[in-house]
Amino acid sequence: RKEVEQDPGPFNVPEGATVAFNCTYSNSASQSFFWYRQDCRKEPKLLMSVYSSGNEDGRFTAQLNRASQYISLLIRDSKLSDSATYLCVVNTHGSSNTGKLIFGQGTTLQVKP
């Protein structure tokens, strides 16, 4: 079983739609959670961190459910420019000052006019 699992999609949605991505992680000791965005033929970039209480950044809302080991990303009023691959990322800290990010395979979103 992969440490971080995502539905690869693609999700094809019209402009203005609301779309949600889900992600599950296997290590219950995971401590930090993120969504990264990767445009075609570009490098991944941090979209937002995910906090236990849930957090919002404009049209983007991230939720974390530690009990179910589940992370979600909701995009409202989707724009053409939201078309990208969204990577679910988990950090499991080892001993102090160690840790590495585990990336999911990514979910591809294509927003159509």
Q: Which residues bind other proteins (CB under 8 A)?
A: 31-32, 34, 42-46, 49, 87, 91, 93, 96-106
Minimal distance in Å, beta carbon 14 to other proteins?
27
Task: Please identify, using beta-carbon distances, which residue of 76 and 103 lies nearer to other proteins.
Answer: 103
Tell me whether residue 2 or residue 79 sits nearer to other proteins (CB atom). 2
- Assess contact for 112 and 19: CB atoms under 8 A: no
CA distance 108 to 56: 21
The strand pairing partners of 68, in sequence order, are none
Least separation in angstroms between residue 105's CB and other proteins is 4
CA distance 67 to 30: 12
